[in-house]
Chain A
Amino acid sequence: MSDRGVVWLGSPSFPDAAREALKDTQLRANLKRATSTIRTKRLAVASELDDWEELRETAAAIKRRTARHLDHYLVQLEESVTAAGGTVHWASDAAEANRIVTDLVRATGEREVVKVKSMATQEIGLNEHLAEAGITAYETDLAELIVQLGDDRPSHILVPAIHKNRTEIRDLFTAEMGHWGQPAPEGLGDDPAELAEAARRHLREKFLTAKVAVSGANFACAESGTVVVVESEGNGRMCLTLPETLITVMGIEKVVPTWSDLEVFLQLLPRSSTGERMNPYTSTWTGTTDGDGPQAFHLVLLDNGRTDTLADTVGRQALACIRCSACLNVCPVFERTGGHAYGSVYPGPIGAVLTPQLVGVENAASLPFASTLCGACYDACPVKIDIPEILAHLRAKVVEADRRPLKPQALAMKAAATVLDSPRLLATAQKAAAIGGRAIARKGRIRRLPGPLHGWSDTRDTQAPPAESFRTWWRKNREGDR
């Protein structure tokens, strides 16, 4: 496998990372406050639309149609972007996308680029790659700026610096801004408005002088060739309109058939994401426009594992994701561990299904298990991705890939399958469990167990099994009633 980015090399597996994260009570408090705030806002604005379920159905159907005919729509997009004055590039993987962008920047003679927040460029590690080529990439979204100045990693799709509090951000601005450009003002306080003002001043000179910008795309309409970026701060508009050259890196799954399909997604995305009726700024552009905005536009279409994901008929629905992060904010696991524990640019429930598919399950084997399968993510997803279904599907794949040599969970799965297949074996097993379970239980609870079962029992108590199974009870008390 070529290096696809996506996962952070050297990250511990999810259970190990989560164990560390759970010790951080400050992080848990920050996350709980943030996720509950945004959950409440999202529910309020989603419930304003009494056809929310119909909008979700349509969004899922548009994505299904697009995925089943992805080649058709990408070719159509290429034609319409080209006809509008843009240039389309195809990138098989992260390395190729990075090479294309680097060459395009070099061709302009510039050594600096301004960037709009983009998951795709994070996924491929574009900033690091450009730095190796002597090109400095400036993140201009406030949260991404915080992450970049801190040499940190994003912990949330929507608000990547949610793990940092205002004091930490103030200290970071004071220490680091001067190394990248305009320093933080003397005696900077930690009020969010003051910090936002410092970011404005720091980035302003970059915006007004940058000749090259790099962005992602929220959507691209095949029929018209229109590309869409949804944002709040205005940094996106700055990057998309002031520079002379604009390079957009977009996953191939972001294409939608027509302009009017956006009427569905522009209703679902802001309400699911920030809990607003509409985000402050949405920019759309079609190729280039004489006398307004960049005069050179390049669209890089990125595969990087997406076609592998598409090949899995269960897993391909993950490609419908519009990166709203609603699933993160409702997930009981994410709320306690935070995003870093997932070891990937895609954290939370969607990360747990997308990351293993993009890089191969053997390279992110713990992620399909980073869930309670409670289903809250499926209910929250505006495009109805059945995340629990994909998680269960990927768990089976992980176990399958893990068979040789047989590990405890594979043995357990195999034993369970055998027992559940046979009523006689099940009855025997239940009887044995009742005796064994009651023998090791104390006051009706089973606590920590030795051997291969400690992984389960270390973190939770289990009710002791009943003295007899339901089947036994039924046979004794009810069977004669029939």
Chain B
Amino acid sequence: MNSRHAVLGRIRAALADVPSEERPEDVPVPRDYRRSHTAPGEDTVTLFAERVADYRATVTRTDRARLPDAVAAALTARGAEHLALPAGFPVELLPAGTWQWHPEPLDVPALDALDGAITLAAAGIAVTGTIVLDTGPGQGRRALTLVPDYHLCIVYAEQIAADVPDALARLDPRRPLTFVSGPSATSDIELDRVEGVHGPRTLDVIVVNPTPLEPRP
């Protein structure tokens, strides 16, 4: 406890110029910045899809009825067969086929042996093209979306916040949160961007419209 007292004492001594009656709220913090950088009436779902794609993630848009088909198409395109399935994931979203779903809990070596993971999300952020995971139902523990090399994430249109301030207001800081903006990347060698170092090298995002995009054939 000695250093605690020492450091706090030094801080108080260093702040001799701050009047003792001043409270933190007395130091003005202007909040003149915008809550969102979207234009009035802008389609935030389309913006989200464009911004996620900017990071070289693959984005597809579908509706609820066609979601299992979209999942099947993504997994086929990636050749992913063994997938981690987080607790609470709605099984009716899974397509029929030869895919092997490995339900949680899975230990790290088991995760490492899989092709990828499929999850829901807690929120999306349109302006920054970010998906947020909070380990809630259908999202799995943090390791689930980290250790396998492929992450397929389903985001519902109504989960997409316009910008960072709206998104943070929707999230609970007491939960462990992961903000994902594109696949793992590095620019450490001659500032050349390389996708994929330690996190999933491939990120597919499926954005689900609440209403049918068009009548089913």
Q: Tell me the A residues contacting B by CB distance below 8 Å.
A: 30, 33-34, 37-38, 48-51, 54-55, 57-58, 61-62, 64-65, 68-75, 84, 90-92, 96, 140-143, 146, 159, 161-162, 165-166, 169, 192-193, 195-197, 199-200, 203-204, 207-208, 221, 224, 226, 232-235, 237-238, 241-242, 252, 257, 259-260, 262-264, 266-267, 274, 276-286, 289, 291-293, 301, 303, 307-308, 310-311, 313, 316
Contact = CB atoms under 8 A, between A and B. Distances in A.
What are the 3 tightest A-B residue pairs by CB atom distance, in nearest-first order? A234-B199, A311-B14, A234-B198
Contacts, number: 244
Contacts of B197: 142, 196, 199-200, 233-235
Contact of A142 (B7, B54, B188, B200): B188
A233 B3 contact: no
Contact of A92 (B3, B129, B169): B3
Contacts of A232: 184-187
B71 to A, nearest CB: 23
B33 A54 contact: yes
Interface string B167-205: 011000111111111111111111110101111100000
A207 B198 contact: yes
Given A61-B29, A286-B174, A307-B7, A192 B13 contact: no
Given A146-B188, A166-B189, A221-B173, A237 B142 contact: yes
B157 to A, nearest CB: 20
Contacts of B23: 69
Contacts of B179: 266, 278, 281-284
Contact of B194 (A196, A241, A257, A278): A196
Contact of A284 (B27, B130, B177): B177
Nearest to B177: A284
B183 A280 contact: yes
B91 interface: no
Nearest to A289: B176
26 contacts: A30-B190, A38-B191, A55-B33, A68-B27, A69-B23, A71-B8, A142-B186, A142-B188, A165-B190, A196-B186, A234-B146, A234-B184, A234-B198, A234-B200, A242-B143, A252-B7, A274-B187, A281-B178, A282-B179, A283-B178, A286-B174, A291-B105, A307-B7, A310-B11, A310-B15, A313-B17
Given A278-B130, A292-B141, A284 B188 contact: no
Contacts of A55: 33
A58 B32 contact: yes
A192 B196 CA distance: 11
Kindly name the residue among A34, A143, A203, A276 whose own CB sees the greatest number of chain B CB atoms within 10 A.
Answer: A276
Contacts of B30: 54, 57-58, 61
A139 B176 CA distance: 24
Contact of A90 (B3, B37, B147): B3
Contacts of A72: 24
A251 to B, nearest CB: 11
A382 to B, nearest CB: 12
Contacts of B146: 234, 237-238, 241-242
B89 interface: no
